[in-house]
Amino acid sequence: MWKDKVRGKVEELFEKAGIQFEGNSEWDIHVKDDRLFGKILSDGSLGLGEAYMNGWFECERFDETVYRLFNNGIEKAAKAWGNIFLYLQAIAINQQSKSRAFVIGERHYDLGNDLFELMLDKEMVYSCAYWKNAKSLDQAQEDKMDLICRKLELQPGMRILDIGCGWGGLARHAAKHYGTEVTGISVSKEQLQLASEKSKGLKIDYQFKDYRDVNEKFDAVVSVGQMEHVGYKNYKIYMETIFRSLRDKGLVLLHTIGSNTSDKVCDPWISKYIFPNSHLPSAAQITKAGENLFVLEDLHNFGPDYDKTLMAWYNNFEKNWAKIQKKYGERFYRMWRFYLLSCAGAFRSRRIQLWQFVFSKGAREEVYQAVR
């Protein structure tokens, strides 16, 4: 009787989003283990993700399932008590403190370069691509990197700081096409090793360090996919670090996933399995952190492009999975599929965004010309 009530409650919630259990639509859910319903009701999104990892359900187009759940606000009705613990933990502990700065590198970015080489574009750019004029992932990522360089008004001989440089794709683009000298910092040893191999002969210096340890001056600063790992307790420190690292009248570009609301916690499943100690900033939190430091010159939102990017990564991952499946195993496969597809659905629903902020330091006389 109790199990029937639990199932009925979950079915009622999902039906509001047009999702059925054992239905015929590609976004409908096919149950393999009835424990699924209790898991969803007790643990919310964390339970849904863990149930998928356990093989308790299948779905042909899970990206569409998540899109419909978000689009109908069902995730609010299914919030779990466990989220309250995460909220209290986020308030009490600086989860992105300097002592914890290298956790994300060890647990996510150091998973294995083979995985990311098979999933990403040829330059291994692990952030939202720019699809305005592109037909392929390679072109969309190249266009994004060039967009950033043009927004920063790069010129030959300029010194650039790339915070969270990844595998060096942007640093190489700036060095090759704009004649700049780049210092790239990362908390991932695996990323830096491969970035160094790919960047031989270029004026790029890769350093294994936390952003708080930067003590040089640069003509421009770029931060792509780093703000998501800074944490709301450290946003002011992050902006102050950039401020002291930037020469007067220089430009800063922040490329970040963003939330529509100023929350203090991230999705519990994403935090536990994909990006530990992560947090999505709101536009208000970012601009507040920049007060009395910078002038906001431009804000560009192309969040829907992340949906396309994630689906391109997903297709590459599926196509190449057989090459790495022995190393990573079935549970990782299901975890990674859930990650890519659920994030694609979230961007499709516009619950999360992709922003590029351009800030300037000091009294810039000329009007900043926004680039698109």
Catalytic residues: 343
> Residue 361's closest CA among 173, 152, 170?
152
**CA-to-CA distance for 40 and 51, rounded, in angstroms?**
8
- Are 35 and 56 a contacting pair, CB within 8 Å? yes
SS3 16: coil
**Tokens found for residue 263:** 């929350």
**CA-to-CA distance for 234 and 307, rounded, in angstroms?**
28
Work out the end-to-end distance of the chain between its first and last CA atoms, rounded to an integer number of angstroms.
58
Contacts of 150 (CB under 8 A, 6+ apart): 371
- Are 358 and 253 a contacting pair, CB within 8 Å? yes
**CA-to-CA distance for 102 and 208, rounded, in angstroms?**
10
Residue 311 CA from chain centroid, whole number: 14
**CA-to-CA distance for 182 and 186, rounded, in angstroms?**
13
Residue 66 burial (CB < 10 Å; 0-12/13-18/19+)?
buried
Contacts of 48 (CB under 8 A, 6+ apart): 39, 40, 269
Inter-axis angle of helices 35-53 and 2-15, nearest 10: 60
Q: Where are the beta strands (DSSP E) in 77-233?
A: 159-163, 181-186, 204-208, 218-224
- Are 334 and 53 a contacting pair, CB within 8 Å? yes
Q: Would you put residue 345 in left (φ > 0), alpha (ψ -120 to 50) or beta?
A: alpha
SS3 91: helix
